[in-house]
Structure 1
Amino acid sequence: MDFWDFFWLIVYSFFFVAYLMVLFQIIGDLFRDHELSGWWKALWIIFLIFLPVITALVYLIARGRGMAERHVAGMEQARRDTETYIRDVASGPSPADQIASAKALLDAGTISSAEFERLKSKALV
């Protein structure tokens, strides 16, 4: 294999990987779109199988703006979910929740009164 064969192999490999990335983005967008019916989704998938490059170009031209908007909306929702999760985990249970769970343990006989008082004072600190 000489230099030019290797060069063209690298170029073809780059375009093939780029096409696969676009294809997976299109398929992900198809299933992310809740406004498109199942029949239209199936039709797009069939065309992607039998006429892949042309269908991908048509999809990007016809639905590119909506694709970007759905992607941004998904990223914003993921950011909000992450922030909510971090806020919930960082705050931990409230002192009232800690005392209530300690009281439930005391009522069940799992802990003694001295342990309940210790947990209660720890929660109030």
Structure 2
Amino acid sequence: MDYPLLNAFWTMCLIFLWVLWLILLFRIIGDIFRSRDLNNWAKTGWLILVIVLPFLGVFIYVIARGHGMSEREVAQAERQQKQLQAYLKETVATGDAGGGHADALAKLADLKKHGDITDEEFQKAKAKILA
């Protein structure tokens, strides 16, 4: 007797395990390249082991160096966060300075246009803003 539903379930389980293993393989390859405590020869050796004997290489890597994988990933995330913070700080600082000057100059031009300040006062205020 044929069990099509059971076969479909079994196929889904195998696909899930295969995708899970591929994700683990790519994370390990990324960890090998990210690791700063390995020299180039050690990285090459681990890559050859993981590529030539994929299942065995992945399991050996997880047993031998798995404890440091999370630490290296957290350190990488912290470095990226610091770079993002520095970029945002730089971008916001230059954006505020330009936007602040433009807004102040627009307000001054409005005041001059309405006759609230003289041309001489406008030039002094403009020089003060741009200084």
Settle same-fold status: TM greater than 0.5: yes
Matched residues, number: 104
Match of residue 91, structure 1, among 90, 93, 117: 93
Match of residue 40, structure 1, among 42, 59, 83: 42
- C-alpha distance in structure 1 between counterparts of 2:49 and 2:75, whole Å: 27
Partner-residue secondary structure (3-state), 2:37? coil
The runs of 4+ residues in structure 1 deviating greater than 6 Å are none
Q: Which of structures 1 and 2 has the bigger CA Rg?
A: 2
Q: CA deviation at 1:122?
A: 5.0
Aligned-pair identity (%):
33
- C-alpha distance in structure 2 between counterparts of 1:119 and 1:25, whole Å: 57
Pairs within 5 Å for 1:22-37 = 22-37=24-39
Match of residue 59, structure 1, among 58, 61, 86: 61
Q: Which amino acid in the other structure matches residue 57 of structure 2?
A: T
Deviation digits for residues 60-98 of structure 1 (CA, Å, limit 9, x no counterpart): 121112211111100001111111111111111658xx8
TM-score (norm 2): 0.69
TM-score (norm 1): 0.72
- C-alpha distance in structure 2 between counterparts of 1:12 and 1:22, whole Å: 15
Q: Which runs of 5+ in 2 are unaligned?
A: 102-122
Distance 1:8 1:120, change over 3 A: farther
Q: CA deviation at 1:123?
A: 3.8
Q: Which runs of 5+ in 1 are unaligned?
A: 99-116
- C-alpha distance in structure 1 between counterparts of 2:127 and 2:60, whole Å: 65
Partner-residue secondary structure (3-state), 1:34? coil
Distance 1:9 1:119, change over 3 A: farther
Q: Which amino acid in the other structure matches residue 12 of structure 1?
A: L
Residue matched to 2:6: 4
Q: CA deviation at 1:50?
A: 2.3
RMSD across aligned positions (CA)? 2.4
Q: Which amino acid in the other structure matches residue 53 of structure 1?
A: F
Distance 1:46 1:119, change over 3 A: farther
Q: CA deviation at 1:21?
A: 0.6
Distance 1:119 1:32, change over 3 A: farther
